[in-house]
Structure 1
Amino acid sequence: MTRPRIAVVGSANMDLVATTPRLPLPGETLLGSDFVMVPGGKGANQAIAAARAGGDCVFLGAVGSDAFGVTLTGRIARSGVDTGQLRVVYGSSGVAVVMVNTAGENAIVVTPGANAALHGLTEPELAAIRAADVLVAQLEIPLGTVLAAASAAREAGTRVVLNAAPARQLPAELLDAVDLLVVNEVEARAIVGAGRENPAALLSVVRRAVLTLGAEGAWFVDRDGTVQHAPAFAVEAVDTTAAGDAFTGALAVAWGEGRELVEAVRWASAAGAACVRRLGASVSLPDRAEIDALAG
């Protein structure tokens, strides 16, 4: 099978992850049990997820001129992602401070750093988007850049997957360019004011959508009348930080391979479940063999 070409435009952060018995209260200091420093950011995570799931992936983003930027670039590249278009801008890289409790729940603070400087798209970046089978984008970079990428993809016939995170209202111009919207319940409510009680409400703004609900699985809805639930895979959760990114990256690969979207959502759900079994965003993202083993 030819590997699908996936272009991911989005954020790259260095994740500083500490595990604690529980999440601290305001003003409280807790002793943690473990600490890891790993590449993160929704863009980098989804690019690595797509590459590990079997995609030929190029990442379009920005890192800082600091030591974190060097580490991020190297680790993303070693994960099988093409970083030839990754920008280096003067200043700090994006950083995420992540706290994870023993139940796998997390609290995250992100400082955008270089991600906030990702304005406009160069001709080589646009060429990478046009050459892709699927473009994946999120909302941790300037919205104008996401719109420019989606518009270029639409004009070239590249399918657009938008993971609308963090939650916010979105302009109609962007939603019109989206072929598949991926949101959790918080994000769905921010966009259409409805969640699990009415997944089909998302069809008022996009052609197709996936509503992810963690342990309750995911809903796929399409304007052709499809409303399909994909049950979650039962696993022991250690860290849920990058589960959504594993899902989105794998979903883009499966769709790029030509699978029916109902089946692609099920396979992506296996990727999300496989991800939560390990600590640390990018290091927990599963490879294709792990996804296939869980999906059965």
Structure 2
Amino acid sequence: MSTTAGERDAGRVTVVGSLNMDLVIRAPRLPSAGETLAGRTFANVAGGKGGNQAVAAARLGAHVAMIGCVGNDENGAQLVAGLRRDGIDCSAVATDAALPTGVAMIVVDDAGQNAIVIVAGSNGALTTSAIAAHEKTIEQADVLVCQLEVPGETVFAAMRAARRHGRIVVLNPAPATGPLPRDWLECADYLIPNEGEASVLSGVTVDSPESALAAAAELREQGARNVIVTLGERGVLVLAEGEAGKHYPAPKVAAVDTTAAGDTFVGGLCAALAAKRSLDEAVRFGQAAAALSVTRAGAQTSIPALHEVPRWAD
């Protein structure tokens, strides 16, 4: 008999990260530098890597709490209301009176590829004091997941808090601007970059599963424990402690929009780890959820529910 995460005891995931309103334009292709291109449609869609991963983890079976910051504006109110509709605990989401809610301008082409520009806004006001004030929320989680769209010192404080309490720490180093300090890498149980981020962090150009393995090995040398490199349509490369690298091919689907596919993978993987599934099961579950997400438009609007994702086999 097979079971889903929801048919077992659901785990707890705490997300420390960004909350953005995505301004999404669909166009035939991505514009070149200096080019004005006619778009087809425009929509406001809830996003931010932190928000996306929180929604993914919640829809995919976990009890989720969000630590973040929005502005005192309509965008912020809409984002928090959306999180609550997905059953996410928002008691640790602050409202900043001075800064607007973060926004991301996203252009999506007919092939489903995207280009994104982010303005942090209130995400920049998420300070280490928020981590100190809500350390209990981290302590109560099975898994903590962070990204790099909020101040770095806040991310590191959250990871250290989770480590003190013996929690699983997942770091999605996005966006990556350069190598991470060794103490950051050693603090994370799972480092999950995409191919571009893995290239920046390791100095190895990643354009294949083989080069992803080389980058992951370099990141292990730098202090990382378990490295999971997401490769889009080429799948996922996993280099776990004490094991050889393993490539997981991606499910074949017709992509409509790749926005939030990586966040869906991370959220699904964290939900699975929190539910005490193996790393192999967690990776496959995250892949299945991400594959569904790219067949739909938008960020959080594309994230599937647990009942839509293929069941785990016992």
- Fold agreement, TM-score > 0.5: yes
Amino acid at match of 2:108: V
Determine the C-alpha separation between the residues in 2 that align with 1:124 and 1:60.
10
Q: Does the aligned pair in 2 maintain the 1:85–1:125 contact within 8 Å?
A: yes
Structure 2 counterpart of 1:115, from 100, 123, 130: 123
Post-superposition CA distance 1:177-199 (Å, at most 9, x none): 10001011111121122234223
In the other structure, the counterpart of 1:40 is 47
How far apart are 1:201 and its partner, in Å? 2.7
How far apart are 1:29 and its partner, in Å? 2.4
How far apart are 1:49 and its partner, in Å? 0.4
Determine the C-alpha separation between the residues in 2 that align with 1:294 and 1:45.
23
Post-superposition CA distance 1:221-243 (Å, at most 9, x none): 11212421111001111110100
How far apart are 1:248 and its partner, in Å? 0.2
Structure 2 counterpart of 1:64, from 65, 71, 90: 71
Post-superposition CA distance 1:9-48 (Å, at most 9, x none): 0000000101001112233322222222111110000000
In the other structure, the counterpart of 2:218 is 201
How far apart are 1:294 and its partner, in Å? 11
Q: Does the aligned pair in 2 maintain the 1:42–1:138 contact within 8 Å?
A: yes
Do the aligned partners of residues 27 and 189 (structure 1) sit closer, same or farther apart at CA in structure 2, a change above 3 Å counting? closer
Do the aligned partners of residues 293 and 280 (structure 1) sit closer, same or farther apart at CA in structure 2, a change above 3 Å counting? farther
CA-based RMSD: 1.6
In the other structure, the counterpart of 2:188 is 178
In the other structure, the counterpart of 1:153 is 162
Structure 2 counterpart of 1:216, from 230, 234, 242: 234
Determine the C-alpha separation between the residues in 1 that align with 2:82 and 2:312.
26
Which consecutive segments of 4 or more residues in structure 1 shift more than 2 A? 25-31, 121-124, 199-202
In the other structure, the counterpart of 2:28 is 21
Determine the C-alpha separation between the residues in 2 that align with 1:253 and 1:164.
18
Amino acid at match of 1:13: N
How far apart are 1:276 and its partner, in Å? 0.6
Question: Which region of structure 1 is more displaced relative to structure 2, 84-93 or 186-195?
Answer: 186-195
Determine the C-alpha separation between the residues in 1 that align with 2:23 and 2:70.
16
In the other structure, the counterpart of 1:257 is 275
Q: Does the aligned pair in 2 maintain the 1:270–1:294 contact within 8 Å?
A: no
Gaps of 5+ in 1: none
State whether structure 2 residue 200 is matched by structure 1 residue 190.
yes
For 1:74-93, list aligned pairs within 5 A.
Answer: 74-90=81-97, 91-93=99-101
In the other structure, the counterpart of 1:138 is 147
Amino acid at match of 1:165: A
Q: How many residues align?
A: 296
Determine the C-alpha separation between the residues in 2 that align with 1:121 and 1:276.
36
Determine the C-alpha separation between the residues in 1 that align with 2:56 and 2:269.
10
Post-superposition CA distance 1:110-163 (Å, at most 9, x none): 100000111113444111001100000000000000000000000001110000
How far apart are 1:175 and its partner, in Å? 1.2
Determine the C-alpha separation between the residues in 2 that align with 1:154 and 1:26.
44
How far apart are 1:293 and its partner, in Å? 6.4
Q: Does the aligned pair in 2 maintain the 1:51–1:80 contact within 8 Å?
A: yes
Question: Which region of structure 1 is more displaced relative to structure 2, 22-31 or 5-14?
Answer: 22-31
State whether structure 2 residue 307 is matched by structure 1 residue 289.
yes
In the other structure, the counterpart of 1:30 is 37
Secondary structure at 2:103 match in 1: strand
* Structure 2 length-normalised TM: 0.91
Amino acid at match of 1:200: A
Determine the C-alpha separation between the residues in 2 that align with 1:79 and 1:16.
21
In the other structure, the counterpart of 1:6 is 13
Determine the C-alpha separation between the residues in 2 that align with 1:221 and 1:251.
15
Do the aligned partners of residues 275 and 293 (structure 1) sit closer, same or farther apart at CA in structure 2, a change above 3 Å counting? farther
Q: Does the aligned pair in 2 maintain the 1:133–1:256 contact within 8 Å?
A: yes
Q: Does the aligned pair in 2 maintain the 1:39–1:76 contact within 8 Å?
A: no
Q: Does the aligned pair in 1 maintain the 2:281–2:312 contact within 8 Å?
A: no
